[in-house]
Amino acid sequence: MTNPNRSTRFNAAGVPEHRGLYNPAYEHDSCGVGFVATLYAEPSHSIVEKGIRILVNLEHRGAIGGDKSTGDGAGILTRIPDTFFRLAGLSFSLPQRGDYAVGMAFLPSDPKLAEQCARTFERIAREEGHPVLGWRNVPHNETILGDLSRSTKPGIAQCFLDRGAAGTDAFERKLYVIRRLAEKEISARTDADCSQFYISSLSSKTLVYKGLLTGSQLPTFYPDLQEDLFASPFAIVHQRYSTNTLPTWHLAHPFRFIAHNGEINTLRGNINRMRGREPQMVSELFGEDLEKIKPALIETGSDSAILDNGLELLVMAGRSLPHAIMMMVPEAFGPKYQMSEDKRAFYEYHSAIMEPWDGPAAMVFTDGRYIGATLDRNGLRPARYTVTREGMIVLASETGVMDFHPDEIVQRGRLQPGKMLLLDLQQKRIVPDNEIKAKISRQKPYRHWVKDNRIEMRGLFAPPEILPEDPEVLLRQQHAFGYSEEDLRMIIAPMASQGQEAVGSMGDDAALAVLSDRPHLLYNYFKQLFAQVTNPPIDPLREELVMSLRAFVGREKNLLDETPAHYRMLKLPHPILTPEDMARLRMASHPDVVTREIDILFPAGGSGKALEAALKTVFVQAEKHVDEGATLLILTDRNTSRERAPIPALLATSGLHHHLIRRGLRTQAGIIVETGEAREVMHYALLVGYGANAICPYVAFSTVRAMAEGQLLERTMLPGDAVDAYIAAVKKGLLKILSKMGISTIRSYFGAQIFEAVGLGRDVIHRYFCGTASRIGGIGLDEMAAEANARHVRAWPAAGAPNRLLDPGGIYQIRVGGEKHLWPPEAIYKLQQAVRTDDYGVFKEFSAIINDHSRQRATLRSLFRFRKNEPVPIDEVEPVEKITPRFVTAAMSFGSISKEAHETIAVAMNRIGGRSNSGEGGEDPARYHPLPNGDSLRSKIKQVASGRFGVTIEYLVNADELQIKMAQGAKPGEGGQLPG
């Protein structure tokens, strides 16, 4: 963690504004988490002390700032200590235990603003029928704080609210409403910075103490926690490590229900889908109060805070805490898993209601009665537990957080992937995973609901045989959608022949789409994100069992209710539809499968204005169809003609997706994209990631059939078999892309927007790709229209038929008239000639070509120019001997380049005092010893990859620096090939 420069624009809470490459929306963390609870004993201060001991022992999992005193965040969640508060010298009387609530509030450090926020809260609580009894200033010792923590410290106070005549659950719901009303009203103020206002907890059951602290600082900062009367039967603790965030007081854990170690990789999609569901939400328990809590998710929070928001909504609306956890973080339940049919039906039913909040996660949770923990379906975060004879249960991110004599222990274990450890403090027992899930799975007839309401493609009317596309029509389509000879030969043919994507070598020196002189499909302006450091990727080959491409398409129902109708959606085994599938949908007579088509076309030759007008027409038509009862919207560019050019399918899909979210209609209909553009796996991933529920790539299928019939594939195949192989390749590719972000299900990937744009303008992002990072700006609708028109003209030239030859492409292999590359053929020739003839003059010709990036303009760095300043006197410059030790080479494994090249790089770097990198795979021990002439072949940097290939003690001790490679690349079928 770094101490931010205070000249940067921060709000009072210490959160920097979106500026330059930084965006607070992309904050995540990795942490230490745990709990201690007693089943049989009365609430005691010793449990709180034990919780703090766990926290201190997890401190190494947190981080400390540059001032050596500011932690990334630590906290504790306990039951409300009733006796402590009664003897705390309050200026008002407390009702009986359970008849009052305590709110832990962070207030602005400005006393005047703090008073205003407190009065606002009091007014709202009074209007909602639960007046504030009084306030208590929470004692705290700020002398222990670091500079950053002290500079952003809020005022800290506790408020006490009267329950009145409300029941316990109704009181908790009302407290939720009061908090949300206060948060919304205070955060909306524009006349003052009230960003420090935050309610850590507001409940009649639980209480949270937290802050921008280390674990050991927590009890010193909050003297309350050292008082003997501060008693609880449980304590949840959390030590935060901010991996790519700037820590703040309010983002410390625990939150109101959970403490979380992990990352929610699908957060943007979860947020978008919750926003889309809110207009259809109805709750008998909330009644008219439901509108007061919307939006339920506070998007300015961290991923863990937003996860807590979602869980809170489900619990407050009537589901039990374990039920809500099972919905949001389900275990894998595919057909290969052994589990009861009731439990499988429960998960399948709920998968149609809500997508998983997916990513590596160890989550501890409580509502005051239940306390428990669960892991994600892959078990990518550790959780170990110990049970003692006295009924004490300790769970934490690692063992050893508390010392027990072996005779005290009755059980040790680790939480299994997808499993739940649950304590019922009311019944005073541990509830086994199978028991709690069996009970919840049978509380409603989910198995019968799934069986009786399933809608599958095979149950729809079978259409007549689809005739193959006319070759002349197919040629025009290929031109119109930018197909190249290279696409057919290097992308589509291997997929249709082998059932998987072609494997290519690393490195891409083709020009970025935004810098290219040639028209590019919109997909090429996006780059996929991948899991890094605290967020491991998963292996789609060995972990396919926990992954799923199953999709549900149609009209979603009220999230806060459960009925048989909730499952009446079209169930697809994967999101790729064939023309035969599309015919079934168009002919369907099922009342829950009502399709309407919308052309995604604009006037050929039109400008960005024409493209914008066409998009507006698409949006208006979609709204009208949904209002009239359509459950499936088919966006199609099949009717492309001389007069009408296709709108980029990704633009139309994402634009409509976000438009319907803004209109509160997104969950009322699925979006199916029937497009001629999509043919690569990346295209399908982008369409799904930006809102498409299913895709029919009709030109790709026609192309595959034509290639099979023309014997243009790697082996003789029937057209139908080739199409099946192509779909199989797409499915494998989608699983691979999901796995790179640690995501297991396509339902979680839908709308998750796990991409960055490179070269799209802010206006386009704001209107059509909301929430996507585009850090450098770029093109707008005018350029998109021009690129679409350039492709359209090839299909419908002003005179005559289209060219019989497709564009050469040239992205993967350099072609005359093709895409420009950073390494042009003449540069490669000059390098080869220089090496063969040992001619330094030829080498200078080579380096002049390469160094002239302004001529290629293939990369962003090509656009930079060095500022010209006055020369610095040579005696003011560091000597060469001090500069060269800072030189390092990239990590290239021995197997990726030749022995000669690998050793030559090491010798060269050692001669100048720099550092070469061994790459993954180890290093020949013979290289650890100097050569007779004094040269050294030893790489100073040794890499340790997740596969630990070649890693030995000798290897490690012969390193000056160790480099840990978190995202292992060497897997069969991917970069860094493994034989077999």
Q: Which amino acid is at 899?
A: K
CB 378 within 8 A of CB 361: no
Q: Report, as an integer, the average pLDDT of 735-754.
A: 91
127: pLDDT strictly greater than 50: yes
Supply the pLDDT for residue 533: 55
Longest dimension (CA), the chain: 95
Structural domains of the chain ordered from first start: 24-448 (3.60.20.10), 471-501+520-556+565-795 (3.20.20.70), 814-869 (no CATH), 875-965 (no CATH)
Query: How far apart, in whole angstroms, are the C-alpha atoms of residue 942 and residue 773?
Result: 34
Write out pLDDT tens, residues 17-73.
555 554 544 444 458 899 999 998 889 999 999 999 999 998 888 777 767 778 889
Q: Give percent above pLDDT 90 in the chain.
A: 74
383 contact partners, CB below 8 Å, separation of at least 6: 33, 362, 373, 375, 395, 396, 397, 414, 415, 421
Torsion of CA 479, 481, 485, 490, to 10 degrees: -170
Write out pLDDT tens, residues 502-519.
887 666 788 899 999 899
Question: Chain-wide mean pLDDT for the chain?
Answer: 90
Query: For the chain, what percentages of helix, strand and coil (3-state, to nearest 5) are there?
Result: 40, 15, 45
DSSP class of 44: B
Write out pLDDT tens, residues 576-624.
999 999 999 999 999 999 999 999 999 999 999 999 999 999 999 999 9
Q: Name the band, by pLDDT with cuts 50, 70 and 90, for residue 3.
A: very low
Query: How far apart, in whole angstroms, are the C-alpha atoms of residue 187 and residue 468?
Result: 59
Supply the pLDDT for residue 971: 46
Pick the residue with more confidence: 865 or 878? 878
CB 190 within 8 A of CB 160: no
Query: How far apart, in whole angstroms, are the C-alpha atoms of residue 375 and residue 790?
Result: 51
Q: Report, as an integer, the average pLDDT of 467-473.
A: 87
Q: How far is CA 439 from the centre of its chain?
A: 32
Closest Cα partner for 726 from 497, 544, 474, 486? 497
244: pLDDT strictly greater than 70: no
866: pLDDT strictly greater than 50: yes
Q: Report, as an integer, the average pLDDT of 548-560.
A: 96
Pick the residue with more confidence: 8 or 169? 169
Taking each helix axis as running N to C, give the angle between helix 608-627 and helix 781-795, from 0 to 180 degrees, rounded to the nearest 10. Answer: 90
User: Strand locations in 883-956, DSSP E?
Assistant: 941-945
Q: Report, as an integer, the average pLDDT of 362-368.
A: 96
Q: Give percent above pLDDT 70 in the chain.
A: 93
Supply the pLDDT for residue 536: 65
Query: How far apart, in whole angstroms, are the C-alpha atoms of residue 949 and residue 499?
Result: 29
- For residue 260, report the phi and psi dihedrals to the nearest 5 degrees: -140, 130
Write out pLDDT tens, residues 600-609.
999 999 999 9
Q: Report, as an integer, the average pLDDT of 910-931.
A: 92
Supply the pLDDT for residue 789: 97
Q: From residue 381, give the alpha-carbon distance in Å to each of 61, 268, 376.
A: 13, 21, 8
E strand or H helix at 846, and its extent? Answer: helix 840-851
Pull the structure tokens for residue 646.
Answer: 């296709």
Q: Report, as an integer, the average pLDDT of 543-551.
A: 88
362: pLDDT strictly greater than 90: yes
Write out pLDDT tens, residues 205-228.
999 999 999 999 999 999 999 999
Residue-wise DSSP of 775-843: TT--B-HHHHHHHHHHHHHHHS-SSSPPPSSPB---SSS--TTS--BSS-HHHHHHHHHHHHHT-HHHH
Query: How far apart, in whole angstroms, are the C-alpha atoms of residue 930 and residue 949?
Result: 24
C-alpha Rg value of the chain to the nearest Å: 31
Supply the pLDDT for residue 64: 75
Least confident segment among 133-137, 163-167, 315-319? 163-167
Supply the pLDDT for residue 70: 81
149: pLDDT strictly greater than 80: yes
532: pLDDT strictly greater than 70: no
Write out pLDDT tens, residues 288-322.
999 999 999 999 888 999 999 999 999 999 999 99
Catalytically active residues are 31
Q: Which amino acid is at 480?
A: A
767: pLDDT strictly greater than 80: yes
885 contact partners, CB below 8 Å, separation of at least 6: 912, 913, 914, 915
Q: Which amino acid is at 465?
A: E
Residue-wise DSSP of 704-730: HHHHHHTT-SSS---HHHHHHHHHHHH
Supply the pLDDT for residue 967: 58
Q: Report, as an integer, the average pLDDT of 747-772.
A: 95
CB 183 within 8 A of CB 295: no
Pull the structure tokens for residue 683.
Answer: 């295209």
H runs (alpha helix) in 878-918 = 880-883, 899-912
For the purposes of burial, counting CB atoms within 10 Å of the CB of 338, is it exposed (0-12), middle (13-18) or buried (19 or more)? exposed
**HSE-up of residue 191 (Cα within 13 Å, Cβ side):** 5
8: pLDDT strictly greater than 50: no
CA angle 902, 907, 912 (to 5 degrees): 130
Query: How far apart, in whole angstroms, are the C-alpha atoms of residue 360 and residue 245?
Result: 18
Query: How far apart, in whole angstroms, are the C-alpha atoms of residue 598 and residue 634?
Result: 6
Q: Name the band, by pLDDT with cuts 50, 70 and 90, for residue 262.
A: confident
* Pairing of the two strands 570-572 and 551-553: antiparallel
Least confident segment among 555-564, 742-751, 842-851, 854-863? 854-863
Q: Report, as an integer, the average pLDDT of 93-112.
A: 96
CB 317 within 8 A of CB 707: no
CA angle 125, 130, 131 (to 5 degrees): 70
CA angle 865, 866, 867 (to 5 degrees): 115
E strand or H helix at 314, and its extent? Answer: helix 303-316
Query: How far apart, in whole angstroms, are the C-alpha atoms of residue 688 and residue 683?
Result: 9
CA angle 744, 749, 176 (to 5 degrees): 100
CB 601 within 8 A of CB 588: no
CB 696 within 8 A of CB 541: no
190: pLDDT strictly greater than 90: no
Query: Backbone dihedral region of 4: left (phi > 0), alpha (psi from -120 to 50 degrees) or beta?
Result: beta
Supply the pLDDT for residue 22: 46
Supply the pLDDT for residue 7: 43
Closest Cα partner for 688 from 784, 766, 599, 576? 576
Least confident segment among 74-88, 204-218, 526-540, 904-918? 526-540
CB 285 within 8 A of CB 318: yes
Pull the structure tokens for residue 293.
Answer: 């809590």
Supply the pLDDT for residue 2: 37
Supply the pLDDT for residue 177: 98
Query: How far apart, in whole angstroms, are the C-alpha atoms of residue 653 and residue 687?
Result: 7
